[in-house]
Structure 1
Amino acid sequence: MPPSIPHVAILMGTYNGEAYLSEQLDSIEGQQHAHWTLHVSDDSPLPGTRRLLEAYQRRWGEQRLKIYPGKQQGFAANFMSLVRNSAIQGDYYAFADQDDRWHPEKLTRAVERLAAYPPSQPQLYTARAQLVDEQGTPTGYSTLQARPPGFNNALVQNIASGNTMVFNQAARECLQRSPHGEDTGLHDWWCYLLISGCGGRVVYDSTPCIDYRQHASNLIGMQRGVKSLLTRFKHLWQGGHRMQIDRNLTALADHRDWLEPQHQASFDRYRRSRHGNPWQRLQGLMKARVYRQTWQGNLAMRVAALLNKG
């Protein structure tokens, strides 16, 4: 392989995924950027997924597709085990879900965008997705992010969907140095939070790069419309969003000294804003200058602060 062409290590977690896995594997095989190796951590208790992977491995060769036993500790641990596996090497690393379909130019777009910046700086690429139903029929698009990605956004919202993520070696080393990611529950939010906080560059691509399949078995779906608002309000009222942010902040506190000075200040102000009376919480939130991507999201964040639910 010519050394000038970046090699991408694709990191896929699987769990009883044989229903849609062939479509995803075929879409990876069809990438315009052909210099990749697929590494799969399989958590499946049933043999169907492993048999399917082994069939592709026989066709592609063991140097093209490598299979590892999963940790049996949930999807975040499954993906993070691949990030931590020192036997896996590449210039860039791409997360892949088992039931999506990649557009042919997905890796090309990500590598070209990231290659424009110094490799010594941690870099994270994320993109918009086209939504499809169980049969693969397009149903719409994920939300177009209007504001730039960054740490002050990552503190309160995850816009970096793991199934679109590509990151460089410097970002991977940052993730490897931390013992966290599995314990936060959402590995992609942790990647966005830690990499942006440590002075990394986050690149958002408004052009959809994958077909994100929505079905009943999705661990985390992307609901839209009134149903989405009701689900999010219920999650907020029951305290789920607050608990998730608590997990993120607890993990990040171990690495406060890794953060850029301005991000340390934002982190400290935001943590303080989660205590005190309603007015103190709201005032502290404004001083922290954290933001969500939409006015509705920012309004909900302020209401949650008043109610001590955010």
Structure 2
Amino acid sequence: MLLASHDGERWIEPQLASILDQRGVDVRVLVSDDASRDATADILARHAAQDDRIVLLPPGRFGSARANFLRLIRDADVDGADAVAFSDQDDVWHAGRLERQLPELLAADATSGNVTAVYPNRRVLIEKHHPQRRLDFVCESAGPGSTFVLSPAAFARVREVVRSDERVDAVAAHDWLVYAIVRAAGMRWTITPDSLLDYRQHGANVTGANVGLQSALTRLQQLRSGGFRLDAARVARIGADVASAPLRDELAHVADLMERNDAAARRELVGLAPQLRRRPREQRLLRSAIRSRLW
């Protein structure tokens, strides 16, 4: 299990406990700390000294959660693991989470699921298990990376790309990238309807739950800046390089459409929208954004 930490002293101990207490599985936690300025590194060192299931990578300065996770993907020693999972520092895993997920890998190469966003006064189920579409990975992740579990073969494919392709360092989110590589490589990914963890919402979230007006305004700003479209084009280019024909050619064409901003490209992208997002509402919003030149 790969855990990225940074200034997480308020949350790291309950999260570690929820991982180490998983039912029915043996776990090993590989941790990369990104120059924490609080007591996170001390807490991790104390727990690692007491429990050999916790392994600390040499400390470093990475600058973002994305870069820290990419460091874990590149450097963590996962030899002998039956599966590789990702973990944020501030969630709480449900006790049977891995016990429910690991059987999915008997018929799939990777799996993820829903989460419960936890606010001070409410809990909200965040559903990500809408039916997958042919090209959904170009425009979205399978959900929070904290729910991802990959087979050794899927993780090895991701690691190969992350180690060899410099473009990955410019991708907006590690979980989006991981999902895209696995799917583009022709591997099977399942998204289960189970809520797998408590996704704690607080002011220091790198990426919070996509709920509410503020989230909608943030997404609108990203659309209007053109950054999201170019991020999607970059993901499509990376995916094309790991895909086989005919998907390889289709991804290269989609990337070309996204890098352009002419009327013909927008018309074609409107037609592709149902394949670029899983949720029908998101498909409609994407079509509207393209037509109105917000995207």
Q: TM-score, normalised by structure 1?
A: 0.85
Distance of aligned partners of 1:232 and 1:183 in 2 relative to their CA distance in 1, 3 Å threshold: closer
Q: Which residue of 2 aligns with 1:44?
A: 35
Q: Name the structure 2 match of 1:232.
A: 219
- The equivalent of 1:5 in structure 2 is none
- The residue identity in structure 1 corresponding to 2:70 is M
2:229 aligned with 1:242? yes
3-state secondary structure, aligned to 1:218: coil
For the Cα contact (< 8 Å) 1:130–1:208, is it kept in 2?
A: yes
**What is the CA distance between 1:28 and its match in structure 2?**
0.9
User: Partner residue of 2:62?
Assistant: 72
Matched with 1:213 is 200
Q: How many pairs align?
A: 288
- 1:140 is aligned with what amino acid? V
Partner letter of residue 192 of structure 2? D
CA distance in 2, matches of 1:186, 1:306: 26
Question: Residue 116 of structure 1 corresponds to which residue in structure 2?
Answer: 107
Partner Cα separation in structure 2 for residue 289 and residue 297 of structure 1: 9
Offset of 1:190 from its aligned partner?
0.5
In structure 2, relative to structure 1, the CA distance for the partners of 1:173 and 1:30 (3 Å cut) is: same
Q: Which whole-Å CA distance do the structure 2 matches of 1:216 and 1:288 have between them? A: 33
**Corresponding residue for residue 106 of structure 1:** 97
1:129–1:211 CA contact under 8 A, matched in 2: yes
1:25 matches 2:16? yes
Q: 1:104 is aligned with what amino acid?
A: A
The one-letter code matched in structure 1 to 2:24 is H
Moved segments of 4+, more than 6 Å: none
Please identify which structure carries the higher helix content: 2
Quickly say closer, same or farther: Cα 1:248–1:202, change in 2 above 3 A: same
Report Cα offsets for 1:205-259 as digits up to 9, x if no partner: 1110000011100011113133332222222112232232233234345x1xx31
* Cross-structure match for 1:203: 190
Q: Post-superposition shift, 1:284?
A: 4.5
Gaps of 5+ in 1: 1-9, 118-122
1:175-225 per-residue CA deviation (whole Å, 9 max, x = no partner) reads: 121134333131100011110010111110111000001110001111313
**For residues 34 and 267 of structure 1, do their structure 2 counterparts lie closer, same or farther at Cα, with a shift above 3 Å needed?**
same
The answer to whether the 8 A contact 1:184-1:251 is kept is: no
- Give the conservation status (yes or no) of the 8 Å contact 2:273–2:283: no
Instruction: Flag the 1:195–1:144 CA change in 2: closer, same or farther, 3 A.
Output: closer
Distance in 1, matches of 2:188 and 2:195, equals: 20
**Structure 1 contact 269–285 (Cα < 8 Å) conserved:** no
Q: Which amino acid aligns with 1:299?
A: R
Deviates most, 292-301 or 274-283: 274-283
Give the residue type in structure 2 aligned to 1:129: V
Q: What's 2:26 paired with? A: 35
Q: For residue 289 of structure 2, what is the aligned residue in structure 1? A: 304
RMSD: 2.2
Deviates more, 1:157-166 or 1:223-232: 223-232
Alpha-carbon distance in structure 1 between the residues aligned to 2:272 and 2:107: 34
Q: Does 1:125 align with 2:116?
A: no
Q: Quote the offset at 1:46 in angstroms.
A: 1.7
8 Å CA contact 1:71–1:77 kept in 2: the answer is: no
User: How does 1:148-227 map onto structure 2 within 5 Å?
Assistant: 148=132, 151-178=134-161, 179-180=164-165, 181-227=168-214
Corresponding residue number in structure 2 for 1:84: 74
TM-score norm. by structure 2 comes to 0.89
Q: Return the alpha-carbon distance in structure 2 between the equivalents of residues 116 and 197 of structure 1.
A: 18
**Percent of residue pairs identical:** 24
Say which of 273, 280, 286 aligns to 1:295: 280
Matches of 1:182 and 1:115 in 2, distance apart? 31
